[in-house]
Amino acid sequence: MAEKKKVEQITSMDVDFAQWYTDVVRKAELTDYTSVKGCMVIKPYGYAIWELIQRQLDDRFKEAGVENVYLPMFIPESLLQKEKDHVEGFAPEVAWVTKGGLSELPEKICVRPTSETLFCDFYSKEVESYRDLPKVYNQWCSVVRWEKETRPFLRSREFLWQEGHTVHATAEDAEARTVQMLNIYADFCEEVLAMPVIKGRKTEKEKFAGAEATYTIEALMHDGKGLQSGTSHNFGDGFAKAFGIQYQDKDNKLQYVHQTSWGVSTRLIGGIIMVHGDDNGLVLPPKVAPVQVMLVPIQQAKEGVLDKTNELLAELKKDFRVKADTTDKSPGYKFAEQEMRGIPLRVEIGPRDIAAGQAVICRRDNGEKETVAFTELSKRIAELLDDIQKSLYEKAKAHRDANTRVAKNWDEFTDIINNKQGFIKAMWCGDQDCEIDIKEETGATTRCMPFEQENLGDVCVHCGKPAKKMVYFGRAY
């Protein structure tokens, strides 16, 4: 019984979802706490997931013409103050540095909460002519936001992300890039993370500080809460005017550039956990699983078992991320440990299997087992990994669809938000005061105005005024 304790200590997600999440993050060894409150250590297994996200997303960026750069982590106060709306939006979260060594700084500097102002300062020197445009840059870095409430991956005072910042000659070019990057995020979440998303526009109240428009992808977690999983912002020429970013056009006239910004963060790992995980721990989509296949020798002390395990390991390493657990732990403990870590496939190899020229494969997502000949093992593993990837997406989509409901009046809305879970589709008048009232009365926020609009009625679900948009509402992280 002692060997099963590690898994048995996970709180059931149906009992306490928040505690279940914390248990999985800690016991799967993704993160740990630090002496700095609100900051996390990302342990090797957690960082390996981030590396796979980073690598595959970066490949997609480069295919879209994006180049990587790196800018400083410090922003002088005078630079930050140049864009009023932006400053007001981030003021409560900014961490300030006032001393360098033993000396007081002549001007305090902030640790970047985001890098719009740094990029604007850079572009004001970099761009002179229409021939310099567009500039499509991205940086992989960390940012600091002094959050009051923190949770590993979902909200921490320092987190890892990428932030793209681009400048364009025309409003049309900027809008096209804004939408293009949102589509890249959506495709990545669905194809790599097996996480279905809703694409849409944020309301004026919920948009990024300083943006003309913010577009978002919204995912639904297992507990029915939404997660903003990526955003793409069209800045228009507001930042350009504040920072004097101009170019000389073909007619030798000075024009202001149009800008975009877009980003995703380690919050995606939290999304993976809450979309796919279960009461035994992580369930990782194969495309972001640091270990896709774990070989487990059974009765490994017997002659030939470890030799065959190592032979298969060498063969399978050519095509998969694979390891062998040859520790002296019992098979039962190894199975529980690998379930906790979400490894998509387990391959068991014992004396009887070797004699029969076969191995037993077990799937993490549904627990199904099958016997496969050694000669067919590589082919079958590839097929199963593809099937797991697709099955996880289909399961998550089915869950989202089953927990997306329509409310045509306020009684239906409050009944859904208080007694059920998930997204609510409803018509909205577009009035910000109405939006605020909905949040204050129910805790639900506007997640997005989806690109794919539906006419669910003529009046606002809350105030009864003429409706302007169909909106996804929900409680969210």
Mind listing the pLDDT tens digit for each residue in 455-472? 999 999 999 999 999 999
Q: Look at residue 421 in the predicted model and tell me its pLDDT.
A: 87
Q: Look at residue 1 in the predicted model and tell me its pLDDT.
A: 33
- Answer for the pair 206, 449: CB distance below 8 angstroms, yes or no: no
Mind listing the pLDDT tens digit for each residue in 15-47? 999 999 999 999 999 999 999 999 999 999 999
pLDDT exceeding 70 applies to what percent of the chain?
98
Q: Look at residue 80 in the predicted model and tell me its pLDDT.
A: 87
- What are the start and end residues of each CATH 3.30.110.30 domain in the chain? 404-474
Mind listing the pLDDT tens digit for each residue in 264-282? 999 999 999 999 999 999 9
Q: Does residue 4 have a pLDDT over 60?
A: no
The CATH class of 16-276 is: alpha beta
Q: Look at residue 2 in the predicted model and tell me its pLDDT.
A: 38
Average pLDDT rounded to a whole number, residues 360-373: 98
Mind listing the pLDDT tens digit for each residue in 71-91? 999 999 999 888 777 767 778
Average pLDDT rounded to a whole number, residues 416-423: 95
Q: Look at residue 3 in the predicted model and tell me its pLDDT.
A: 42
Q: Look at residue 55 in the predicted model and tell me its pLDDT.
A: 98
Q: Does residue 5 have a pLDDT over 50?
A: no
Q: How much is the mean pLDDT over the chain?
A: 95
The 8 Å CB, 24+ separation contacts for 309-312 are 309/349, 312/347, 312/349, 312/359, 312/374, 312/377
Residues with Cβ within 8 Å of 228's Cβ and at least 6 positions away in sequence, in order, are: 216, 217, 218, 447, 476, 477
For tokens 């019992």, the residue is: 330
The CATH class of 404-474 is: alpha beta
Q: Does residue 312 have a pLDDT over 50?
A: yes
Average pLDDT rounded to a whole number, residues 222-248: 97
Predicted confidence band at 8 (pLDDT cuts at 50, 70, 90)? low
Q: Does residue 6 have a pLDDT over 50?
A: no
Statement: 291-384 belongs to CATH 3.40.50.800? yes
- What are the start and end residues of each CATH 3.40.50.800 domain in the chain? 291-384
- What are the start and end residues of each CATH 3.30.930.10 domain in the chain? 16-276
Could you tell me the sign of the dihedral formed by the alpha carbons of 289, 295, 298, 300, in that order? Answer: negative
